[in-house]
Structures are given as C-alpha cells and as structure tokens.
Chains A and B, each alone.
Chain A
C-alpha cells in the first residue's frame, strides 16, 4: 500500500518539521543535553588539537598560528628506526586482546547462566567482577610479586615440587604474551561478561522450552538458541572494539615492560607518551596518535559494512 501524503504536509519544510519534532520531545532532548555537552567538551573540542599533527607547534603562536609542516611527522614516524617494531607489537597485542580474548567473557556468561544456586552465582560473580576495580598498577604489582624469581609464589611452588624456582618470568620474552594475556583476562573477564549476561537474560524462555520439548541437550540449547540470540550483541561489541585496534592498552603494557621483553612490549601508546610528554614533541606525538585513530575509524566502518552484508547486524 502506498503511503498517503497530503499536499499540506508535503509543503512543510523539513527544517520546521525538525523544530516541531524537537519541540514535541523537548523534555527528552533536555535529558539528552548533558550527554551531548559532555561529548562536545571532552570528545569533540579536543579533536581540534589534531591540527598539531600537521603543524610545527609554537607556544607563542598557538595551534592555528603555528606554521604548517604537511605530513612531515607521519613521514618521520614511518622512516624511524622503531616504527615497524612498534606497529607490529601493537597489532599483535591488540589482536590478542580483540580476537583471542573475545570468547572468554562469552563463555563465562554462559557458565553463569547455567548456575542454579543463586547464592553461589552472586558470590562467584562478585569475585570475578572485583579485579575490574583494581588499577593496572595494583594488578601488575601483584603479578610481579607472584612471578618473582626465587621468592614469588609460582617459583616457590615449582621449587617445592622439585623444579627450578629461579625463572624470572617478567624478564624473559618467552613468557611475555602469556603473562600479558592471563593478567588481562583475570582483570577484564568478569566485568566484560555483564553485557553478555544481559543479552542472555533477554532470550525468550519459550525458545528453551520448545527446545526441551524437542529433546535438546544443554549444549544444544546453548549452541542453537543462546549463541545465535546474543550474536548481534557480540558483533556490535566486536565492531566497536575494532576502533582501538592500534591502542593496545597503555597502563598494563607500561607496567609489564622490562628490558627483557621490551622488543615485544614497546607499543604505539607507550611511544606516544615517551615522545609527546617526556620529550615535548607535541606535533609528532599527535601525528602518531591520530594515525591510531584514523586506522581504527576505517576498520570500524569496514567491519560494519561487512557485518551488515553478511549478518544483518550493524551499528548503523
């Protein structure tokens, strides 16, 4: 059926239509306003600083008054001795955190969902959420103590069992990814599982009942009902996290870095802090940071398009 459009309504300009709509929903817009202001002040206005990536920033000239240098900083970065290693390390670490880590909170949410004892469910959830509230400084401090050679908990257990308890895990590059990933999982898994728990809670119980009548086992229920039902949530979260593919997490890696693992642990985030804040190269650091953002932005758009074509789930 064709929509009926009156000649009066078609003559109303879109602008006044918009204002009418805003006026009608003014209270909702007012509620939205603080949020818009927040993003304007803390996310959009600082975007103007990106101009520094193309300027030789002078204190006395400000950002606009400083002379243009074109793509000089980008060129300098890609020609620098460390660029290749920094990009490679960043991609590996963020890749591990994005792809390898992805199923962990989902599995945990599925496990929580199957716990029948309410008391035990609450207790275990609280225990697993707790690490999220600890800062990386504390978490890495604990990790360092646990993994210390000779005196660390792990080495003491190994020594008690007759092994060599002198391994310096933090100094050996061979253990870097394991330590990085396990500490990341420990800190993040509980908190990240909350959103999947919410998605699982939204699955219609009718589906499970129908499956049960059809004789489906628990695993079949999870595979054929729970996972497909939460798939859009998983896809959306994954697309959003792609935006930070070149941001591997400064705090954790900064604390984890030792001379022994530095060739794996030096990433773009730590590099930006080093050149930007410790050496005062504002333009150069901005250029590297901007590059991170642009690549993340492109990836989000691409992933969103692919997802829309393949699975009908997308951000917009």
Chain B
C-alpha cells in the first residue's frame, strides 16, 4: 500500500518537474541577426521606411500612464511612413513591478518591453539588471551608433551620470547597453514649471491676512494651523475645515510641507550633514523631532487623522470641496485649481534651516525600453524608436495628423486646430481617442520622448501655447510662486539618489526591507501614545537597519560620493 502511495505521488511529481523544468525562459540563442542592416529605404518608399513588419511591445506600466488604444488613422500613417505595424499591450498587474517580474520570468516577451525607471535606484532596476546580465536582452550599442537621435546618447556629457553609468553604460557591461533610458532633455539644467507642494485656500489666507510665502518652518505651519482651527472656516458643504489635509493623491508621508523635518529626500532619508558625515535620518535627532511634531499635530486635530493612509478618492474629494484648508501636496497643473483658489504655500526651509533654493537636475530621466534577445532583427526596432524620437515622429505622436489635427505655420511648426483644444477642454476622454499626446494620449512617449526641446522643435514649450498665448495650464501658480526668480538662483546637480546602490550592496535586500520598515515605523510612531513608545518603535527600526549593515552601506555611499562618476545628490531636486 505504502509503495502504491509512493508511486502515485512520485510519478506526477517527476513528470511535472520535467515538464516545468524544461522551460527555458531566457533562451540562450542569439537573436537571428544582430548586425546592423542597411539604412537605405527601397526606391518606391519614403526615406523613413524601415521594414514591412509588425512590432509588438509589452508595457509594464499602469493604465493611468499608458494605453494600448492607438488611433487607427495614426497607426495607418506610421505604417505608410515606416512600414511598421505597431501594437502594444499593457501588462495588467497589481503593481507595475509585479507585472515586470512575472513577465520577465515567463520568458515569453514580444519584440520590445517598456517599463518605469526614474533612476537606477528604482525597484525595477535589479530585476532588469539580472535579466540583462543573464542574456535576456539584446546589446543595443551597435544599433544606437547607427541612429540619428539616439546616437546622441553615445556623445560625451549628453546623458546625466545616473543614466550613463548607472542605467545604460554600466562599467560591468564594457560598453554594451541593454536598456534605453527615456525622457532626456536635449539641453541640460532646464527647470520644470510644475509648482508642487502644499497649497492653502486663498480665502482663508486672505481672511487671516497671511502671506503664504512667509510660511517657511514647521513652527510657523503649526501657528497657521492653530489660527485656521480658531477661525471656524467651513467647506463647500458647510462643514468645518480640517487645517491640514492629506495630499491630493491620497495619504502618505509628504516631503515638501515638512521639508525642515526631512533628513534628505522623503523616502530616501539619507543626507550628508554640515560635518560631511553621511547619516540616515534615524541616526539623527531629526527623526524624534518629527515624530513629536506629528504627534502634537494629530493630538490637537490640526492634521487629518488619516493624513498618511487615506485613500485617493476621499483625499481628492476633500480638496475639491475645500474641506482641507491646506492641501498637503498638489500641483499647479490640476484642472480644478486653474483659478488659483488654492495658493502655493511656502517653500519651506531645509533641515539645516537654510532657506529654499531651487535645485534642478542636469537632466532628468524616466521610463526605459529593452529588446529581448529573442527578437528578430532588433535593429529595426531601434530604427523605429529613432523615427519616433525624430522631429517628424514626435510631431506625429504629439500633434496628430496634419490637416485633421493641426496645420503648419510659415516656419513649418505645427499649430493645433482650435476644435481639438475645445474638445480636450470639454471632453478629455473623447479627445484622447484622437490618439496623440497633445490630446491626452501618451502612447508615443515610450519610444519618442527623448532628446526633448519643444521650443526648438515646434516653436512652443507646451502643446497649444501658440494658440492660447502661453496662458496655459499652471501659469497663475507659476507667477504667484515667483518661479522666474527662483530659477534665476537655481543650482544644477547631476547625481545618483542615495538608495541607488542597494542592488550592488551584499545585504541590499535586507536593507531595502529595513528602509521600508522605517517608513512604516515613522507613521506608527506618529500614532503612538507617548514619546517613549515612539522612541521604542524607532529603536526597533534602527536595530533592523543595523542588522542589515546600514553602517556598511553609508560607508559605500561615502566612497561613491567621492567618485565624480557616482556623485550622490542628497537633496531632492525641486
């Protein structure tokens, strides 16, 4: 009987082990033809012709950011100009990283993949790096050399150092590259015009005779919140307002509104102090100071009780109803505040008490794509990406079709049609169907949004500025916040975030876990009943970090920071 049982269990196990184990996810076979092919188009085809083929991509991003719905007329135009039948699919997952991890492990990848990658410290990096090291992706360097736009990536000082040495041309790859980082500006040191951070209701600021730009410290914020509480202000429904509400997108730890209580950037919390020593926030008195302040704010009901955890719908509803006198975090492009009934508050000092100074990244980056090693003729994918990043391609995915969506001015720059702008203003969902970025559909950014300089390419900074007279979105907040003055005094930095090196640190996984635990421990400490209890919670978090060799990691950061190729930016760029 026992033997029979053994057979019954063992046989299916052996068979299934063989079946599943035989799957060769990565497939070591080299791509069919990795040599760059001729760039010349056939005589009867346009100069932009690449090949008569289909290119299919799998996108590991959220459906809020990307779509697989591309306008058929635009697809037909792409086919006409390049011969490419373009199709993408979004990998649906709880989180984009989960989709990427599962997708790569499956080994069943189409012609290209695209994924989030703000910098080399992002959680996607270790996953794609492992795949690259294990031969999952095609070396793109030989093909990039043969392009018009992407070849700039090979020029000295074109790329920011994190993109150059951390993402694309990592020293371990000896000149090869397996991912192309996107969203690189053509010119460096260009400041964005988005004004993000806390905003205060204009009528409340006026009633209290407060200049929002005069609030620079957490103590001043506390006094302001007290005044708001005493003022008995009401929201649109006649209910009392909450002095400080959560961020517009839901509850979480916010950096800008408490920037004088943040040791470095929020969620990094690693900073080089005045004495030159690199420390984690938990090793400094700042952590407890912040905890005590938050405890006080919560106890006195000056903050929303679910400030750190509330869901997006309730947070958004509160902002729209004016239920939060101060919205913890929002930005100037939000449509509901184009009349500026919420004014930007601050900016706040830094943790060392220094007044705000704008910091601009030499060049930012975001998103990346890669070509699996199994893709046939990968050079055609690179050529197609190059077409999308060219001026011609960019106009196609940013302005749509000539005649249907825009006309050309005498300099050859596109002028959007008024009816498109009207449709976008009245029915955003309908305008998206037109299928280009100006109308709210960003599919073209995957391959095309890099080497960006809209003023040089189309004669306007933002889509439609020429028609609306640059009274575009966010302009009022920009003026109120005195953006021009701040840009004039801005410093430009080029560097890595402190957590960028976790994937190469031996106990990086444990330390990542410990850092995540610190983030949660902070919130737990805010809601604890006493200072002693909070201290105990933070001590526990520190113990976990030390067990994961925090000191070793901080030492590594010192080494990295002393190398010009791996300089670290400790302050957030904003």
A→B interface (CB under 8 Å)? 40, 44-51, 57-65, 80-82, 141, 144, 148-150, 166, 168, 170-172, 258-260, 262, 273-282
A45 smallest CB distance to B (angstroms): 5
Q: Which of A48, A59, A171 contacts B131 (CB 8 A)?
A: A59
A58-B134, A81-B544, A278-B95 known; A45-B19 Cβ under 8 A: yes
Q: Closest CB-CB distance, B517 to chain A, in whole Å? A: 8
Task: Give the interface segment out of B98-106, B256-264, B352-360, B492-500.
Answer: B98-106
Within 8 A of A (CB), among B513-567: 513-514, 517, 519-524, 527, 544, 547-548
Q: How far is the CB of A51 from chain B (nearest CB, A)?
A: 6
B126 touches A280 (CB 8 A): yes
Q: List 9 A-B contacts (CB under 8 A).
A: A44-B12, A47-B20, A59-B130, A60-B25, A62-B21, A62-B107, A81-B513, A273-B98, A280-B126
Neighbouring B residues of A275 by C-beta, 8 Å: 509
- With an 8 A cutoff between CB atoms, is B123 at the interface? yes
List chain A residues, Cβ under 8 A from B189.
none
Min CB distance B534 to A, Å, is 12
Chain B CB within 10 Å, residue with most, of A48, A81, A150, A274 = A48
Among B139-147, B175-183, B217-225, B301-309, the stretch that binds chain A is B301-309
Q: Is the CB of A171 within 8 A of B527?
A: yes
Contact residues in B for A82 (Cβ distance below 8 Å): 513
Taking CB atoms and an 8 Å cut-off, the chain B residues in 286-309 that contact chain A are 301, 305-306, 308-309
Contact B20 A260 (CB under 8 A): no
Number of interface residues of B (CB under 8 A): 54
Question: Interface residues of B: mostly helix, strand, loop or mixed?
Answer: helix
- Distance in angstroms between the alpha carbons of A148 and B309 in the assembled complex: 11
CB-based nearest B residue for A50 = B17
Nearest residue (CB) in B for A277 is B98
Q: Which of B13-39 contact A (CB under 8 A)?
A: 13, 15-28
Assess whether B524 is in contact with A48, with CB atoms less than 8 Å apart.
no
Is A276 a contact partner of B20 (Cβ separation < 8 A)?
A: no
Is B521 a contact of A259 with CB atoms below 8 Å? yes
Task: Using known A-B contacts A51-B17, A260-B523, A280-B101, determine if residue A59 contacts B548 with beta carbons closer than 8 Å.
Answer: no
Given A59-B107, A81-B547, A277-B97, answer yes or no on A171-B309 (Cβ-Cβ < 8 Å): yes
The chain B residue sitting closest to A62, CB to CB, is B24
Decide if B513 touches A259 in the complex (CB within 8 Å).
Answer: no
Whether the pair A150, B510 counts as a contact (CB closer than 8 A) is no
* A277-B28 contact in complex given A81-B548, A144-B311, A148-B306, C-beta closer than 8 Å: no
Q: Are B527 and A168 in contact (CB under 8 A)?
A: yes
User: Which of A51, A62, A64, A82 has the most C-beta atoms of chain B within 10 angstroms of its own C-beta?
Assistant: A62
B127 within 8 A of A: yes
Determine whether the beta carbon of A49 is less than 8 Å from that of B20: yes
Contact call B26/A60, Cβ cutoff below 8 A: yes
Q: Separation in Å of the A295 CB from the closest CB of chain B?
A: 17
Q: Which B residues lie within 8 Å of A49 (CB)?
A: 20
Q: Mark B181-205, 1 if CB is under 8 A from A, else 0.
A: 0000000000000000000000000
Contacts of B407 in A (CB 8 A): none
Q: Which of B12, B101, B130, B305 contacts A276 (CB 8 A)?
A: B101
Q: Which B residue's beta carbon lies closest to that of A166? A: B305
B136 within 8 A of A: yes
